[in-house]
């Protein structure tokens, strides 16, 4: 017969292992979910496109009768301020003027969508428009915040980013992707007469070790860059 003490230890051990596995899955579920969806989209050939207008779900192609069954039109969550990243199928509300130095303020904003850093430019204005998604002090806080930017690592030069702001659509094209230290604030403080859009997420996904930045410029400017 198995000793009762041994049986108890095994039972407790099994519960601890199960609890640990459950906690890990819960912690990284936003990452797992985002990556799984992206993999399925690639296999199925699914593509995303921002709506041509805020009030419509039709693309230019569909208006011509050329309907692509693998194409999903993304309508902005909020016509006042939203972001759509076609490459990764991201579609989220943007919360304006979020103090990136105030943890309580930015955590509240990140539960609702993507944050626009206080003091940075708005779309259509000269300067840097800085948008950031999840930003946590430990990996165990990751599930509390949206995972909309987890797939920014897949962005490539020329990929389109669409911002809807005050009822107008602004198109940007990716011109650079870089990994920086978590303490890097150079784009926060940059002074420029250009219109530059910066998207920031933590890197690697689900950690706070470094930052991944996607830098984009207005499409009419980026298209002239060799």
Q: Of 200, 201, 144, 108, which is closest to residue 30 (Cα–Cα)?
A: 144
> What confidence category does residue 106 fall into, taking pLDDT thresholds of 50, 70 and 90?
confident
User: For the residues 112-134, what does the mean pLDDT come to?
Assistant: 92
Name the nearest CA neighbour of 133 among 213, 71, 54, 33: 213
Which three-class secondary structure state does DSSP give residue 180?
strand
**Dihedrals φ, ψ of 89, to 5°?**
70, 30
- Per-residue pLDDT reduced to its tens digit, 30-62: 556 656 666 666 676 777 888 876 654 444 444
| pLDDT tens track for 108-120 | 888 888 999 999 9
So what's the pLDDT on residue 69? 76
Instruction: Give strand pairing partners of 73.
Output: 49
Write down the domain spans for the chain.
4-222
Q: Which residue has the higher pLDDT, 77 or 3?
A: 77
Q: Mapping DSSP to helix (H, G, I), strand (E, B) and coil, where does residue 25 land?
A: helix
Nearest Cα residue to 194 out of 172, 211, 178, 213: 172
Cα–Cα separations (whole angstroms), residue 128 to 45, 46, 71, 102, 136: 34, 32, 31, 20, 23
Q: Note the pLDDT of residue 200.
A: 92
Q: What share of the chain is helix, strand, coil (3-state, %, to 5)?
A: 35, 30, 35
Confidence check: pLDDT of 14 > 80: no
CB 51 within 8 A of CB 57: yes
**pTM as predicted:** 0.75
Domain 4-222 superfamily per CATH: Sortase (2.40.260.10)
Tell me the C-alpha to C-alpha distance, in Å, between residue 104 and each of 10, 60, 85, 100: 42, 42, 27, 10
Spatial separation of the C-alpha atoms in residues 28 and 26, rounded to whole Å: 6
pLDDT tens across 160-211, in order? 999 999 989 999 999 999 999 988 888 888 889 999 999 998 887 666 788 8
């Amino acid at each position: 017969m198995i000793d009762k003490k041994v049986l108890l230890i095994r039972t407790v051990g099994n519960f601890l292992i199960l609890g640990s596995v459950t906690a890990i899955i819960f912690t990284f579920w936003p990452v797992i979910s985002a990556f799984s969806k992206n993999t399925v989209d690639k296999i199925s050939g699914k593509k995303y496109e921002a709506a041509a207008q805020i009030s419509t779900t039709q693309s230019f192609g569909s208006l011509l009768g050329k309907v692509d069954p693998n194409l999903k039109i993304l309508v902005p969550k909020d016509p006042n301020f939203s972001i759509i990243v076609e490459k990764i199928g991201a579609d989220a509300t943007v919360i304006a003027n979020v103090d990136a130095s105030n943890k309580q303020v930015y955590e509240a904003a990140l539960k609702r969508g993507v944050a626009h850093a206080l003091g940075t430019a708005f779309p259509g204005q000269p300067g840097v428009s800085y948008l950031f998604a999840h930003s946590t002090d430990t990996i165990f806080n990751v599930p509390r915040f949206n995972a909309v930017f987890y797939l920014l690592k897949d962005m490539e030069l020329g990929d389109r980013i669409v911002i809807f702001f005050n009822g107008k659509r602004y198109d940007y094209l990716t011109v650079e992707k870089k990994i920086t230290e978590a303490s890097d604030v150079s784009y926060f403080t940059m002074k420029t007469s250009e219109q530059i859009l910066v998207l920031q997420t933590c890197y690697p996904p689900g950690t706070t070790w470094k930052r991944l930045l996607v830098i984009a410029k207005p499409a009419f400017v980026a298209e002239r860059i060799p």
